[in-house]
Amino acid sequence: MQTKVEVKEFAARLPGVDIKAALKSDPDFKRRVQEAARGHVAQLAREAHDFLAEAVRFVRERASEPACKVVLLIDSVERIRGVGSEAMAVYESVRNLFFGHAELLRVPLLHIVYTIPPYLSVLGPGTGAQIGGAVPRRLVSTHVFKDRSRDPDLEGLAVLRTVVERRYADWSQLFDQKALDQLAISSGGDLREFFRLIRLCLPAVRDDLQLPLSPTAVKAAENAARSEMLPIPGEHLVWLQRIARTHDPCLEKDGEMPTLAHFLDNRLVLNYRNGSDWYDVHPLLRELVDAHVARTGA
Amino acid sequence: MLPALALDAPTERVAVNLLRHPEWQYDGFSLVFLFADVGPSLQLADWLDQRLAMQGRPLHRHEAKDSFVRHPEAAVDLLVNRLADLSAQPGGVWFAIQRHPGDVQWNRARTLFLARLNERRFLLERDLKRPLVLVLPAHFRAETRAMAPDIWHKRDLSEELRWLPDTAPTSVQVSMEPLATRAVEDGCLPAFAEWQRMASASAAEQAFLPTAWKASNELLAVGRPGDAEHVARSALSLARRRAQAKADGSSERDLSVSLDNLGGVAQAQGDWTQAEAVYRESLALRRQLVERLGGTPESLDDLAVSLLNVAAIPPGDSAARAEAVAIYRRLRTRFPDTARYVQRLQALSGENGAPQGSGTMPAG
């Protein structure tokens, strides 16, 4: 890829230097490259597009299919996070990337899948419309609750039992159905969390007489999982209570975005979809959130 | 040798949970977080290792070195570069970065380590075929969730292990550093608290350097070497600026003491390279001071201290030591009633070359 003279000069002045390593480990070098590139974003993007178009043509020639569809997955963008005083600046830059430079993210000849942070659609509901009209897709949890309620969805619970059954057909020897359903509800339908809760129950079994485990027996695992999410500051509990009440993210100011991102990243708040998107506090935190409200009257 | 792990009910639950995990899930990547006080975590590692070794799956233990505080990202690189090797051997990986729980610099390093590890999570999942136990300070759970939400969500297990109430150490000694666990609040460190106040004031350039020297010693004494180094470096920067600003050399002594102070901190962390660099610079300054001031008792005493600091650098410098002894003999002859010179000579006669430690306050 051809680059502007300034960036070429950097490379020329550093013969034998691993540019990638320097970008990673030398903040000063990285800053100078960024400054040199600033103002040439359009050209850099054009050159990147040309390079990718060349790659698509190469793939089509190799496959002998002139109309072959090529897909590019750009992963881990959702992991871009800010810390401390820089948090808001980082979130702004992510928003700017997808909203302000949307046309540069559309690459001719390519289908592109970007993983985007869950808070982005909260920040700007029009994300997809600005990037070629695509609709952001979300990987939501299994339905374990009915729409905007805390009533268990029996069909969703049956799905999770099937998921376990496919992995271990004799699960009913370890857990009675009520216990397994209780863990499913406590996981909020998050599969990784569900498996983790199941795993947490097992080391405590000392004797086959304890099996199958009852809803009471799995409480210790639920308590352990809950304690991993604590402590939660009082001001966060107030916000969580609003989310629990309205089933909306309740973002009132841009400056609060880092906190909402924290809620979503750490699964203090889960995103469900029963036809439409809705939000609720993690099931294991409900009592805590409700108790705080009752205690403080917030 | 560390005492055996004391197993009350909560500790036994943690120990058994941690044992079951590598026993049941020994093939394939899995991630365990252990938030623990240093002493119990070391005991737990020994306890687990004994049991797992009997099954032919000993733990591969890595404890963070002193350089971790300065280069936490290098620790990520080190771990990532070893994934293939670690996967080729049976047994899980114990990666401990829980030392100095109260040290602000160490905690910053841990935060950076977690952030970088979080970004490279896919490498762990793809290339490490063994359980990985990440050991962090007991208070670090919230920070871990915030800094590394992706690998946090990936965890298979997390546990917390603290000193039992009756077994916690009542005092923390630098010599017992591996067992030092308590995060000492800044309020218990008066010189450090005062130095922080001075350094953040509008007249920070007028800060009193002896307070910084005392602060870094306080911090070393409570097992916070990263913070001690941070203070020592700040003091040295200030001392250098003052020495450059005053061409008459009147700030050189403070500069030499600040150098010795940093040397003492480096020495406490086993960083002899850094210690040697600053001790030798201090020695050169003190020779200049003796020349300029005409061999006053204080300047000679300072020179002797510098010589002994240099003499303590491995493998030792007998010429420097001999020169220091000669200086104290001359001072004792000139000032027979000054107890310090007598005591120093007696100490040197008995120590046979033991290190003198960091720079000192003025004699007398």
Report DSSP letters for B157-222, one per residue. Answer: EEEEE---TTTS-SS--GGGGGG------GGG-HHHHHHHHHHHSTTGGG--HHHHHHHHHHHHHT
* SS3 state of residue A281: strand
Give the DSSP H/E element, type plus range, for residue A111: strand A110-114
Q: Do A25 and B154 touch (CB under 8 A)?
A: no
> What pLDDT score was predicted for residue A6?
46
The rounded distance, in Å, linking the Cα atoms of A186 and B292 is: 77
Is the confidence at residue B289, as pLDDT, over 80?
Answer: yes
Q: Which fold has domain B9-161?
A: Rossmann fold (3.40.50)
B351 contact A CB<8A = no
- Whether the CB-CB separation of B14 and B43 falls below 8 Å is answered with no
> How many Cβ contacts (< 8 angstroms) between chains A and B?
38
* B350 vs B37: which has the higher pLDDT: B37
CB contacts of A199 in chain B (<8 Å) are 156-157
Q: Do B157 and A228 touch (CB under 8 A)?
A: no
Choose from A169-183, A254-268, B26-40, B232-246 the range with maximum mean pLDDT. A169-183
Sign of CA dihedral B99, B102, B108, B110: positive
CB contacts of A22 in chain B (<8 Å) are none
Q: Do B155 and A196 touch (CB under 8 A)?
A: yes
Q: What are phi and psi of B64, to 5 degrees?
A: -60, 135
Q: Do B147 and A265 touch (CB under 8 A)?
A: no
From B193, B197, B267, B209, select the one nearest B241 (Cα to Cα): B209
> What pLDDT score was predicted for residue A101?
78
Q: Which two tokens stand for residue B295?
A: 């061999």
Closest residue in A to B153 (Cα) is A266
Model confidence pLDDT, tens digit, residues A91-113: 778 877 887 777 788 888 888 88
The rounded distance, in Å, linking the Cα atoms of A119 and A82 is: 13
CATH tag, B187-349: 1.25.40.10
Give the DSSP H/E element, type plus range, for residue B310: helix B297-311
Amino acid at A286: R
- Please tell me the distance in Å from A192's CA to the nearest CA on chain B: 8
> What number of other Cβ atoms are within 10 A of residue B283's Cβ?
21
Question: Beta strand pairing status for A269-274 and A276-281?
Answer: antiparallel
- Please tell me the distance in Å from B88's CA to the nearest CA on chain A: 26
Sign of CA dihedral A195, A201, A207, A209: negative
Mutate to test the interface with A, among B30, B51, B145 (most CBs of A within 10 A): B145
Q: Give the predicted TM-score (pTM) of the model.
A: 0.73
The rounded distance, in Å, linking the Cα atoms of B232 and B265 is: 8
Of A83, A203, A262, the CB nearest to B17: A203
Closest residue in B to A263 (Cα) is B146
The rounded distance, in Å, linking the Cα atoms of B94 and A15 is: 39
> What pLDDT score was predicted for residue A43?
80
Residue A28's contacts (CB-CB under 8 Å, 6 or more residues apart) are none
The rounded distance, in Å, linking the Cα atoms of B63 and B94 is: 8
Domain range annotation of chain B:
9-161, 187-349
Strand partners, A70: A110
From A107, A122, A124, select the one nearest A49 (Cα to Cα): A107
Model confidence pLDDT, tens digit, residues B144-199: 988 888 899 889 999 999 876 655 554 433 333 333 334 456 667 889 988 888 88
> What pLDDT score was predicted for residue A196?
93
